[in-house]
Amino acid sequence: MPGRPNAVDTALRALRYRDRTAAELAARLEQRGVGEAERNQALDTLERLGYVDDARFARSRAEQLAERSSGDALIRDDLERRGLAGEIVELALGALEPERDRAARIAEGRGRSVKTARYLASRGFGEEALDAVVAAEDSEVVGSESFHPKFSLQARDFPK
């Protein structure tokens, strides 16, 4: 059809606004009625030219989310929902600052409290990172005059 843009042009228009995964582009092309053979050929062309690179996208997106105080579980979920393969997701997570260190930095800024631990849990931080925050809280509290063992924070006190 002379009035219908080809698959590569349609995908390039989508890439003008932000980087996208191959799976996101494939879904977009499918919605536009592009056949499977043409869709695969367009994606192969874009990957060869460097416009589509799932590993680059995963690293960049993981860094963005980590900068926004997201834990590994939230980052993993976001990347997997975008159609990225598990090995690419794990490589992107491996390139980040360790989750414990990110959690400790956030806790320093927000204060070490139950509220902070709940915040971290809601942002996808794992049990190990929460344990690190709780352990630091316990060590600070034990040295204070207001410490009471019955009311000290435990890892079991935080949602998983």
Give the position of tokens 């809280």.
Answer: 137
Q: What is the pLDDT of residues 78-117, one digit of tens each?
A: 999 999 999 999 999 999 999 999 999 999 998 888 888 8
Least confident of 18-22, 45-49, 143-147: 143-147
d(CA 28, CA 36): 12
d(CA 99, CA 101): 5
DSSP H helical ranges for the chain: 7-15, 22-31, 36-49, 54-67, 72-81, 86-94, 99-110, 114-122, 127-142
d(CA 66, CA 58): 12
| The two structure tokens encoding residue 105 | 């930095």
Task: Determine whether domain 7-52 maps to CATH 2.160.20.
Answer: no
Q: In CATH, which of 1.10.730, 1.10.10, 1.10.8, 3.10.450 is domain 53-96?
A: 1.10.10
pLDDT at 145: 45
| C-beta separation of 51 from 106 below 8 A | no
d(CA 53, CA 41): 15
Q: What is the pTM of this model?
A: 0.79
| The two structure tokens encoding residue 128 | 């190990």
From residue 18, alpha-carbon distances to 14, 27, 125 in Å are 7, 16, 27
Q: What residue ranges of the chain are covered by domains with CATH 1.10.10? A: 7-52, 53-96
Q: What is the pLDDT of residues 135-154, one digit of tens each?
A: 765 555 444 444 444 444 55
DSSP H helical ranges for 50-82: 54-67, 72-81
